[in-house]
């Protein structure tokens, strides 16, 4: 349910986003997207190694590395910004420890970082009753596509029985694991009767192949997501092709900020629900 009354809107405008880690490319993109939407960004950020301050838009960010007393830092930030909310784009190894820090200090958060022990992460947040958005995919339009495919899988079991499936996904060479989005889409096709295993997903990571075969623009080799799902009938006479090509990080940064806005609105409206995923964010309409 969308909350659009003036009181809620005014209260949302009081929030300040602590983006961890602004030193990274996603953190920077989120900070820029937040400012573009008029959301305040804190002049601080938790990081790994020691770093010099960094200016993003109209905010110069001071970094607190792993040598600092993070409990003291969080207490200081909460005192300075009573309506503090965290956006986490750090590294998989820090997902659970960072969430424990946010829970300890009662700071609501949006977890965009993938990896970690996801079962523990969700259980810890549920137990604490802390408001949070947790999702491995923050691109709103990609999430909507996933949701649509899930609906198809649930509603039309066996619709593609006998069809063969070919899945190709291309990401920057630094991404060593198979796309979680591709896995989710494959699961929906399996529900529709397609015999296909996750291990059959083709991962393209070679830059030359990405440009020549996948047609990824060279300027986006270090940040893209090109996916193709092709279905062929048993007799070879019918073909279906689903494709989504993403260049850059804008779609994820904008979706992340919208997730934060949704969480703010839900909190200010007194929602009993605390933990959200991106499909619920899309359904809520609490974005601007």
Distance between CA atoms of residues 259 and 252, nearest Å: 10
Phi, psi of 143 (to 5 degrees): -60, -40
Contact criterion met (CB below 8 Å) for 222 and 230: no
Catalytic residue among 171, 220, 224, 227: 171
3 is catalytic: no
Catalytic residue among 54, 83, 166, 175: 175
Contact criterion met (CB below 8 Å) for 114 and 136: yes
User: How close are the terminal C-alpha atoms of the chain, in Å?
Assistant: 14
For residue 212, the tally of other CB atoms under 10 A from its CB is: 10
No. of helices (H) and no. of strands (E), the chain = 10, 13
Three-point CA angle 146, 124, 118, nearest 5°: 40
220 is catalytic: no
Catalytic residue ranges: 171, 175
């Amino acid at each position: 349910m969308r909350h659009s009354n003036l009181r809620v809107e005014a209260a949302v405008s009081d929030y300040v986003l602590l983006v961890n880690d602004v030193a990274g490319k996603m953190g920077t993109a989120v900070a820029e997207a937040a400012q573009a939407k008029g959301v305040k960004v804190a002049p601080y950020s938790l990081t790994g190694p020691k770093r010099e301050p960094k200016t993003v838009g109209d905010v110069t960010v001071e970094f607190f590395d792993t040598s600092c007393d993070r409990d003291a830092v969080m207490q200081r930030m909460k005192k300075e910004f009573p309506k503090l909310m965290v956006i986490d784009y750090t590294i998989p190894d820090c997902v659970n420890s960072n969430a424990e820090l946010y829970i300890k200090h009662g700071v609501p958060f949006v977890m965009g970082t993938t990896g970690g022990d996801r079962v523990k992460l969700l259980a810890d947040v549920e137990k604490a009753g802390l408001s949070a958005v947790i999702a491995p995919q923050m691109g709103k339009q990609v999430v909507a596509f996933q949701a649509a495919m899930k609906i198809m899988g649930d509603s039309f079991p066996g619709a593609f029985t006998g069809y063969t499936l070919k899945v190709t996904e291309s990401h920057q060479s630094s991404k060593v694991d198979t796309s979680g989005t591709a896995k989710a889409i494959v699961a929906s096709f399996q529900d529709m009767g397609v015999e296909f295993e996750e291990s059959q997903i083709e991962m393209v990571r070679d830059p030359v192949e990405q440009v020549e075969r996948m047609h990824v623009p060279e300027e986006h080799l270090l940040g893209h997501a090109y996916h193709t799902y092709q279905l062929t009938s048993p007799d070879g006479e019918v073909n279906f092709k689903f494709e989504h090509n993403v260049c850059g990080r804008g779609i994820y940064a904008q979706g992340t900020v919208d997730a934060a806005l949704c969480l703010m609105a839900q909190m200010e409206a007194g929602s009993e629900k605390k933990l959200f995923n991106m499909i619920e964010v899309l359904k809520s309409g609490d974005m601007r």
